[in-house]
Amino acid sequence: MANLFHHCFVIYLILLDCFYLCLPTASAELQRFKQPVKEDGSLSFLVIGDWGRNGYYNQTEVAAQMGRIGEELSTDFVVSTGDNFYEDGLRNIRDPTFKRSFTKVYTAKSLQKQWYTVLGNHDYRGNVRAQLSPTLRNIDGRWLCLRSFIVNAEIAELFFIDTTPFVDKYFSKPKHHRYDWRGVMPRQQYLSNLLKELQTALQDSIASWKIVIGHHTIKSIGHHGETTELVQRLLPILEANNVDMYINGHDHCLEHMSSINSLIQFLTSGGGSKAWKGDFDQLNRDGLKFYYDGQGFMSLQVTETEAKIAFHDISGHSLHSFSLFKQPNLHAGSTSEE
């Protein structure tokens, strides 16, 4: 009887996945989710990127410190900046990598909260729709992964953007990699729709804080450096709409850069597992506030008038922290570093 139930459940998962695979996905319309704040109106969350390696490369150690800091801050949710499963994403909705790299690694009580997740370029090398499938939420209820979406947390709005399709080389020079572009083609229409949706959403936002999250860098001195396509197409929209922070992964480091053209703070949290020691541009340091070529994660504590950001290493120590300030309901702000 138990075997019959198991087989029926597997068939159900396959049919459910097939249903979602058949849904049209050419549109980049941004789905919205509501995230409650604490009773005092504040918000706290962690940011991790470039992590899914079955617990290896110190992924488990970073996860343990996330749990400790998460308990101290009473975090409300966790953000993943992508490259969730190495080296080539998930094969299907039954891929054991999902549990090995996610469910069985982030086990701390404070991490049993909603995870808001975007895709990275390594995720696109697998079965993208497996990662996007609601079936994974049945396996682990914390998991929420979409191409692009918005989280409304009252005092803050988080705009999650699918950055991988912007990068030309993944299409023109994929080398030996195979990317799953289902739902993205025709590419230019997809990107145009996404940028229009983002522009409208940012213009309409009345949140005190506007935070945009994507996998790829805009400003970075790390291994990948700036992503030209995002500098040209995404950055002008962020600047025109008074975005406070752009948070990304992709470079396997922790980093804080500022802009000379706007108040945007560029924050990299890509140290979830394997890091790249000594691999950075020592000459291009304009706007650099902090760089750490090791493993770790970020924490954010947000009120209507202040955002405290900290970068933590593999031992949970705070390596760099700073605060952003603003008047209620105004987007002009200032920065104070510690």
pLDDT (tens digit, 9 = 90+) per residue, 41-63?
Answer: 999 999 999 999 999 999 999 99
Lowest mean pLDDT among 24-28, 90-94, 149-153, 299-303: 24-28
Residue type at 5 in one-letter notation: F
Is 261 annotated to bind a ligand? Reply is no
Locate the domains of the chain by residue range: 30-329
At residue 3, the pLDDT reads 53
pTM: 0.90
Is 123 annotated to bind a ligand? Reply is no
Closest residue by Cα to residue 286 from 326, 259, 324, 325: 259
Beta partners for residue 269, in sequence order: 254
C-alpha distance from residue 111 to each of 141, 148, 166, 172, 173 (Å): 12, 22, 31, 39, 38
At residue 286, the pLDDT reads 85
With bands split at pLDDT 50, 70 and 90, how would you rate the model's confidence at 8?
Answer: very low
Is 246 annotated to bind a ligand? Reply is no
Lowest mean pLDDT among 1-5, 207-211, 227-231, 296-300: 1-5
Is 50 annotated to bind a ligand? Reply is yes
Is 312 annotated to bind a ligand? Reply is no
Q: Please identify every residue annotated as catalytic.
A: 224
Would you say the C-alpha torsion 281, 282, 283, 286 has a positive or negative sign? positive
At residue 164, the pLDDT reads 98
Distance CA 272, CA 115 (A): 14
Asked whether residue 10 carries a pLDDT value surpassing 50, the answer given is no
Arithmetic mean of pLDDT, 61-71: 98
Tokens 């924490």 correspond to 299
- Running DSSP on this structure, what letter comes out for residue 214? E
The top-level CATH class assigned to 30-329 is: alpha beta
Q: Residue 101 class from Cβ within 10 Å (0-12 exposed, 13-18 middle, 19+ buried)? A: buried
